[in-house]
Amino acid sequence: MNFEGIYTPVITPFNEDGSIDWESYGEVIEWQIENGVSGIIAGGSTGEFYAMSKEERIQQFNFASEKINGRVELMCGVNDIRVSECLEITVAARDAGAQSLLVAAPPYSLPSEAELAHHVLKIADTAGLPIMLYNYPGRTGVEMGEEFLTTVSSNPLIAGIKESSGDYSRLPYLTQNFSNIELVVGGEEQVVEFAAWGAKAWVCATANFFPSECVQFMDIIGKQSDFERGKRIMDAFMPLMAVLEQGGKFLQCVKFGCELQGRPSGIVRPPLLPMDNTLKQEMSNIVTIARQALDIILNNKE
């Protein structure tokens, strides 16, 4: 399986009482498809899966599958602190019609590389679907290192790796030593660097509110290899990426970015709290400037 283009880990709009706003969730998915993304990720951390019940997550898979109706790829995040829950959710994702899975290490347990490999291969065996690994030691506490990668890379279902460690040295390491596992952009501020090492796909939270721009960006550097134009686009994106990745309110900023674009977003579920007005104003200014700069670059108004 080849991963190419934008895979949006879509937000989950919530009503003020914390319940899922299903009508708005449908609008979120539809807008992504209209703007040319390659895939929708249901059940990602940007969708606040960790704050949902198992039943809500399964309902979300089924809803997303029905809404997408085969128009783009449906990838489901099947991660949980309990392995038994992971496997139940994996089966539910498969039965809902997922074409691929996003798999990270179970948080808190800190498995060894051999234990993590066993976990991932169990999910692969259970689902029989292509897997995009999700290496994010900042959230899980463990890294997908050499022993792990050597073990799982022999399984053809291990198709890609969303690399979110922030360690640039892993980009050449992965492409040179595990070329059968596709490198996928996992850092919002590192797209050009990933593309330089062959990444053709981006798991892109920013696409929740700039979908068309992100699709065009990935096409320019992933397909066309136009890095000069790509660097200008990244320069326009960079203040936004900085506040997303380093502002300490990633999800709140993503949802507020949707709101600024006139898109449904809703509240965040606890333990997260709303943004303060200072960060809202900063985010509003940055989004306005980014929108204007991207319009100039992407529509050749320079």
Higher per-residue pLDDT: 35 or 244 = 35
Query: Length of the chain in residues, anyone?
Result: 302
Give the mean pLDDT of 101-130.
97
In contact, 154 and 120? CB cutoff 8 Å? no
Q: Per-domain residue ranges for the chain?
A: 5-224
Residue 284: how many CB atoms within 10 A of its CB?
Answer: 14
Angle between helices 277-298 and 211-218 (to 10 degrees): 50
pLDDT of residue 301: 65
Helix, strand, coil tally for the chain in percent (to 5): 50, 15, 35
| Class of the domain covering 5-224 | alpha beta
The catalytic residues are 134, 162
Higher per-residue pLDDT: 214 or 301 = 214
3-state secondary structure (DSSP) of residue 203: strand
Give the mean pLDDT of 90-106.
98
What is the rounded CA–CA span in Å between residue 251 and residue 268? 8
What is the rounded CA–CA span in Å between residue 76 and residue 9? 9
Q: Is the peptide bond before 271 cis (omega within 30 degrees of 0)?
A: yes
In contact, 199 and 257? CB cutoff 8 Å? no
Give the mean pLDDT of 105-123.
97
Question: Rounded to the nearest 5 degrees, what angle is found at the Cα of 18, between the Cα atoms of 14 and 23?
Answer: 35
Of the candidates 195, 201, 194, the one whose C-alpha atom is nearest the C-alpha of residue 225 is: 195
pLDDT of residue 279: 93
Only one residue has tokens 């807008």, namely 31
Query: DSSP for 20-40?
Result: B-HHHHHHHHHHHHHTT-SEE
Give the mean pLDDT of 227-231.
96
Higher per-residue pLDDT: 189 or 25 = 25
**pLDDT tens, residue by residue, 1-52:** 789 999 999 999 999 999 999 999 999 999 999 999 999 999 999 999 999 9
Q: Is the pTM of this model over 0.75?
A: yes
pLDDT at 90 over 90: yes
